[in-house]
Amino acid sequence: NMASDGESDEDFVTYGIPLEPLEEGKLPLRKPVPLQDQTVKDEKGRFKRFHGAFTGGFSAGYFNTVGTKEGWTPSTFVSSRQQKAEKQNARPEDFMDEEDFGEHGIAPREITTTDDFASGRPDQIRDKAKAISSLSAPIPGDTLLEELIAPARSSIGVQLLRKMGWKDGQGIGPRLKRRQRKQDTDEKMYGCALPPTGSEESEDDDEFVPENVTFAPKDVIPVDFTPKDDIHGLGYRGLNPLQALGGGSGMGHINLFTVDSERTSSLFGGRNRGKQRKGGIGGQAFGVGAMEEDDDDIYHRDTMSNYDAVLGGEEPGDGLYGWTAPQQYKTKKRSEDAAYVGKILEGFTLGSQPTEAKTVFPPPDLPRDYRPVHYFRPVVDPSSVSPLVAQALQTSRGHLSLQDAPQQGRHTLDSAQRREMLGETTLQGPSSVFDLLDRKDRERLTKASALPTAQSGQTFKPFDKNPAKQARYDLYISRLKQGDKDALELSLDQSMTEWERGREREEFIRAAVLYKPSHSLLSSRFTHGKHEDDTDSVDVARDQENDVDDKQAAVKMKMFGKLTRDTFEWHPDKLLCKRFNIPDPFPGSGIIGLPKVKRDKFSVFNFLSVMDPPASTSSSASAPPAPKSSSVASGKRSRWDVSGQESQVKDSLSRFISEARIEVSAAQQDQTSTDTPPSKTAEPQADQTAKKAEDEEEAEEEEVRPPIDLFKAIFASSSNEGSSSSSEEDSGEEEAQAVEPQPIVPVITPTVNTIALPVLPQAPPTSSLCATTGRCL
Amino acid sequence: MSFPAPRPEAPRLPQHLHRSLECQQGAVRAVHFNADGNYLLTCGSDKSLKLWSVSRGALLKTYTGHGYEVLDADGSYDNSQLCSCSSDKTVILWDVATGQVTRKLRGHAGKVNCVRFNEEATVMLSGSIDGTVRCWDTRSRRMEPIQVLDEARDGVSSLKVSEHELLTGSVDGRLRRYDLRMGQLHVDFVSSEYTGHQNKDYKLDCCLSNKDTHVLCCSEDGHVYYWDLVEGSVTLKLPVGKAVVQSLSFHPTEPCLLTAMEGRVQVWGAEPADAESDTAMTD
């Protein structure tokens, strides 16, 4: 409804019924329909089953039968003898379901425009079909006759217009006076105006037409607003088969790019349809029939003149095609400067107000001695400059920023200043620590601190012992800061000798280079971190290697095996495994190499590795007397025959450490097992604990240390399996038989394991195993 | 098995000089058999790598492309590719037939001591003085190593690759065994067990005999020392010459030994030279 009242929101036009506003908190929950419930039903609520592409893809009737469950009952015979009059003709619709009349049925009933009300626009598809049928007809051009005698039928609109007095060829609209019409039809003049000779028709009419006669407006050709739905170029219209095949040769000019001449003509009922058509197939490749008189273009010489070089071609009328021109264009003033006429682009008008000319001022004359370089005068913080320099600065240049002091923030004020500003009374008692001191002490203090406190702003005093020199240096530094070129020469004492000055110059330069203010020095050395890193944790290999000393000891005792071996978890790269044809031992782990853990950076415990007690105890143990073995008896000294004295050699320091470790670990064990304070650690005498530890060691190691026969048995047997030495073969075999192979394997040394690879059946013989022993850089 | 195992025959040690090759490439830094033992590679201090036929003693090809002394080389299992490493910190993969550089890999921070192919020549492993072992992919064109094993605390002096294990010997006195199948790293602290030879200034090679019965090592006193693997006793002290024996290589299957001393490579066999040639003729 249209609102006429002056309310604020009544300016809008609303259509339809507004939706009811949703209640808050009762938002409709849209649950998705489960798959089993997604069914299709027809209008009667019957389930539809997908059946095929016909009848809209669904089965017709009742489960592919007729429309009811009972089935199709044949109509009973009814004698029509009595009812002949009311005999009815069965129409196809009688046998159709109502679905068939629907939108997707086989005979949809829809509202269509009848011919009476149809516009003059011809049906494109029908046209084309007709054209093709005419060509394929036994006599080409057969439909020509049909078109000739087509009933003169005009649409309702045309009939109405005629009744209103409209005549063919006239424009629509109120009748116009002559003047008006002339103005409308006035053409733009390009170049110089034509002389008003009576060549033009309008000019001719002008003179004979009386004033009171009105004219119908000129007929305009409407703009074709058909949407572009093809992929051809703009204005392109495909070859009309009627023209191209029927009468193409006669027309000569095949105009592919008629913007609207063809279309608009077709708008008006196809009045020009077939006007120039000739019967029969003509053109190239068909030859010339005997009945045809013109044989001019047998060989279809196509020239460029047959084609347009310009889009659009000749424009009719005002070039607007009835389009309502913009306002400016309509009410264009024609009385403009003649020089502009024809140069103005369409749609543009001349500006009414001339733009103001910009006044350009000449640059000022520079003084003769002007140097176009600017340097910024540094603002010197008085606190950072020695008082001498400050004074010098104040007298010489006077741009010391002392005046800025009151503007500084309140935090720079001290308590006394604030008190003054607030108007408070001074506190009783000593205001400073100095007041509490002796007068003598105070004097001494002030004397001692006079120089340093005065120059406390400066960070570094290279010539502290020589105040005059230091002052000169400070002056030099400050001048250097200001960018003074001859800072050095100016700051040196002129009264000194040339040699002295030269020396001082050197010193100052070096000092200035070396002792920059600390903050600048640091900032030159460091860069800001790109990202924040964990400052208190560091990547440390998760598994730490055991103590080296113990290992060395173990090696000395030829106790290869658990003692000298550290086994870590190691992650090979995925690609490496692939290249080695081996499944990844840790699939899915992103670690490569040894796993790392984050630990506190500054923890001592990162770098201490607490040994497990049995290893340490056994390492420092002394070997029991080795039983006589056959290899020793054979005269050759084997490396596996170790004497007890050799293994006992261990430096006292490592011994002490290992003892201490035992102590610690024992203490820890005590603590973990019971809450009672450890008695051993409480004992003050280190000797006693050491002794005790030694006792423990000896007690333990007898269990831990396996007898030498075990080694012999293992190694002798492995040597027999893998290979055998030439000389000791017999004795070795005997020994292997004599000594029972004991089922204790964990002590087998790793070196032997790797060396005696041929035991593995599938392993290739390792030809040259390079041990590190012989290699040394 | 019903039959008693045949008595293993006494290992024959190569101690007879068969051939001597003058390599003409400066000092021979390393000598190495190829996979089947028919050819040998010599790494010269004049930046060249040479391929020789062992049986004929003929020079087959010279590979040039390194920027400094070649320190080690290895051949792939199919003899189609070679790899070599040098003091110029690079590892080069060569095409055997054309002698062209297939890939030149930079990444080590110091001179590269040793280089080995894996079994299928899909990976090259190079150990350097910078303490890392780098695994280079020979299949892809990637110039970065697949993985860098930087566990060694000092320079890596020797390498050995088996089917699924890597053995690296480092100057820090440890033998590291990387087990790819188990995903474990075993670090073994070792010390010299086979003693008697002299090694002070040079990086000397050592190896096992073809049947793994003996340990062989170069010595700076001009000898090659043979130790019994199990007993650890010196079995043979083979005099090679007066200068330092810098490198040696044992034939993968036969008792045949190569030694490199100064600019010369010597081929040693178990039988005397004439007898060997006779058997070769009859074969």
Contact A758/B212, CB-based, under 8 Å? yes
Compute the distance between CA of residue A7 and CA of residue A4 in angstroms, rounded to an integer: 8
Give me the DSSP letters along A101-152. Answer: GSTTSSS-------TTT--SPPPHHHHHHHHHHHHHSSSTTTHHHHHHT---
- What is the structure's pLDDT at A220? 75
**Chain A nearest C-alpha distance from B160 (Å):** 7
Return phi, psi of residue B16, to 5°.
-110, 130
**At a CB cut-off of 8 Å and minimum separation 6, what does A10 contact?**
A3, A4
Q: Which of A714, A617, A601 is nearest to A661 (CA)?
A: A617
Return phi, psi of residue A583, to 5°.
-65, 145
Q: Are A568 and B184 in contact (CB under 8 A)?
A: yes
Ordered by start, the domain boundaries in chain B are 16-282
Contact A580/B123, CB-based, under 8 Å? yes
Give the helix ranges, DSSP H, for chain B.
Answer: 273-282
**Chain B nearest C-alpha distance from A711 (Å):** 12
Strand partners for B206: B217
Q: Strand order in B147-149's β-sheet?
A: B112-117, B123-128, B133-137, B147-149
ipTM over 0.95: no
Q: Are B115 and B132 in contact (CB under 8 A)?
A: no
Question: What tokens does B231 get?
Answer: 């007993």
- What is the structure's pLDDT at A383? 60
For the stretch B44-79, what's the b/e string if a residue is b when 16 or more beta carbons lie within 10 angstroms of its beta carbon? bbebbbbbbebeeeebeeebebbeebbbbbbbbeeb
Question: What tokens does A477 get?
Answer: 């530094």
**At a CB cut-off of 8 Å and minimum separation 6, what does B177 contact?**
A750, A754, B165, B166, B167, B185, B186, B188
Position B2 confidence tier, pLDDT thresholds 50, 70, 90:
low
Compute the distance between CA of residue A733 and CA of residue B278 in angstroms, rounded to an integer: 36
Contact A570/B170, CB-based, under 8 Å? no
B115: contact with A, CB 8 A cutoff: no
What is the β-pairing status of strands B16-22 and B264-269? Answer: antiparallel
Q: What 8-state DSSP symbol labels residue A326?
A: P
Question: What tokens does A181 get?
Answer: 């019409």
Residue type, A34: P
pLDDT at B126 over 90: yes
Residue of B nearest to A584 (CA): B181
Q: Are B92 and B78 in contact (CB under 8 A)?
A: no
- What is the structure's pLDDT at A758? 40
Q: Which of B65, B23, B58, B74 is nearest to B44 (CA)?
A: B23
Q: Are B74 and B39 in contact (CB under 8 A)?
A: no
B147: contact with A, CB 8 A cutoff: yes
Residue of B nearest to A711 (CA): B230
Q: Are A483 and A375 in contact (CB under 8 A)?
A: yes
Strand partners for B91: B85, B105
Position B115 confidence tier, pLDDT thresholds 50, 70, 90:
very high
Q: What angle do CA A622, A625, A630 make, to 5 degrees?
A: 130
Report mean pLDDT in 10-residue bins for chain A, 777 residues. 48 80 66 80 69 59 63 71 68 75 74 70 68 68 64 78 83 71 47 45 48 74 76 76 55 49 43 42 54 60 71 52 50 48 68 80 84 70 60 53 47 75 72 68 73 47 76 81 72 77 82 60 48 47 60 67 78 87 83 70 49 40 40 43 43 54 53 42 44 47 54 53 41 42 41 38 40 38
Q: CA quadruple B64, B68, B71, B74: dihedral positive or negative?
A: negative
B157: contact with A, CB 8 A cutoff: yes
Q: Domain B16-282 adopts which CATH fold?
A: Methylamine Dehydrogenase; Chain H (2.130.10)
Contact A774/B204, CB-based, under 8 Å? yes
B12: contact with A, CB 8 A cutoff: no
Residue of B nearest to A758 (CA): B212
Q: Which of A118, A207, A127 is nearest to A154 (CA)?
A: A118
Instruction: List the single best residue of A546, A565, A576 to mutate versus B (max B Cβ within 10 A).
Output: A576
The number of CA neighbours under 13 Å toward the Cβ of A509 is 8
B238: contact with A, CB 8 A cutoff: no
- Mind spelling out the 3-state secondary structure of A285-317? CCCCCCCCCCCCCCCCCCCHHHCCCCCCCCCCC
Q: Are A245 and A140 in contact (CB under 8 A)?
A: no
B139: contact with A, CB 8 A cutoff: yes
Q: Please list every residue in chain A whose beta carbon sits closer than 8 Å to the beta carbon of residue B120.
A: 579-581
- What is the structure's pLDDT at A614? 41
Question: What tokens does A150 get?
Answer: 């087509």
Question: What tokens does A156 get?
Answer: 């309702």
Position B112 confidence tier, pLDDT thresholds 50, 70, 90:
very high
The DSSP H or E segment spanning B165 is strand B165-170
What is the β-pairing status of strands B59-64 and B48-53? Answer: antiparallel
Return phi, psi of residue A555, to 5°.
-65, -40
Q: Which of A156, A70, A71 is nearest to A113 (CA)?
A: A156
Question: What tokens does B201 get?
Answer: 């200034």
CB neighbours of residue A493 within 10 Å: 13
Coil/strand/helix, residue A493: coil
* pTM for this predicted structure: 0.38
Of residues A573, A592, A725, nearest to B228 (C-beta): A725
Question: Distances in Å between the alpha carbon of A753 and those of A713, A732, B209?
Answer: 15, 19, 17
**Chain A nearest C-alpha distance from B11 (Å):** 7
Question: What tokens does A167 get?
Answer: 């005549």
Contact A639/B231, CB-based, under 8 Å? yes
Q: Are B50 and B59 in contact (CB under 8 A)?
A: yes
Question: What tokens does A356 get?
Answer: 């103001």
Compute the distance between CA of residue B49 and CA of residue A359 in angstroms, rounded to an integer: 84
**At a CB cut-off of 8 Å and minimum separation 6, what does A404 contact?**
none
Compute the distance between CA of residue B128 and CA of residue B107 in angstroms, rounded to an integer: 10
For the stretch B234-260, what's the b/e string if a residue is b when 16 or more beta carbons lie within 10 angstroms of its beta carbon? bbeebebeeebbbbbbbbbeebbbbbb
Residue type, A508: F
Which pLDDT tens digit goes with each residue over B156-210? Answer: 999 999 888 999 999 888 889 999 888 889 888 877 678 888 888 888 888 888 8
Question: Distances in Å between the alpha carbon of A57 and those of A69, A98, A477, B180?
Answer: 21, 16, 97, 63
Contact B190/A773, CB-based, under 8 Å? yes
Compute the distance between CA of residue A323 and CA of residue A342 in angstroms, rounded to an integer: 21
Q: What angle do CA A270, A275, A280 make, to 5 degrees?
A: 120
Question: From the CA atom positions of chain B, what is the Rg in Å?
Answer: 19
Return phi, psi of residue A240, to 5°.
-75, 120
CB neighbours of residue A447 within 10 Å: 9
Compute the distance between CA of residue A120 and CA of residue A118 in angstroms, rounded to an integer: 6
Question: What tokens does A228 get?
Answer: 């572009």
Q: Please list every residue in chain B whose beta carbon sits closer than 8 Å to the beta carbon of residue A564.
A: 188-190
Residue of B nearest to A587 (CA): B183
**Chain A nearest C-alpha distance from B135 (Å):** 8
Coil/strand/helix, residue B46: coil
CB neighbours of residue A614 within 10 Å: 14
Of residues B158, B163, B232, nearest to A639 (C-beta): B232
- What is the structure's pLDDT at B86? 93
Question: Distances in Å between the alpha carbon of A174 and those of A309, A317, A468?
Answer: 39, 19, 110
Return phi, psi of residue A695, to 5°.
-60, -45
**At a CB cut-off of 8 Å and minimum separation 6, what does A593 contact?**
A570, A571, B147, B148, B149, B150, B151
Compute the distance between CA of residue B108 and CA of residue A629 in angstroms, rounded to an integer: 50
Residue given tokens 């010193």 in the structure block: A507
The number of CA neighbours under 13 Å toward the Cβ of A430 is 7
Give the helix ranges, DSSP H, for A379-432.
Answer: 387-396, 415-422
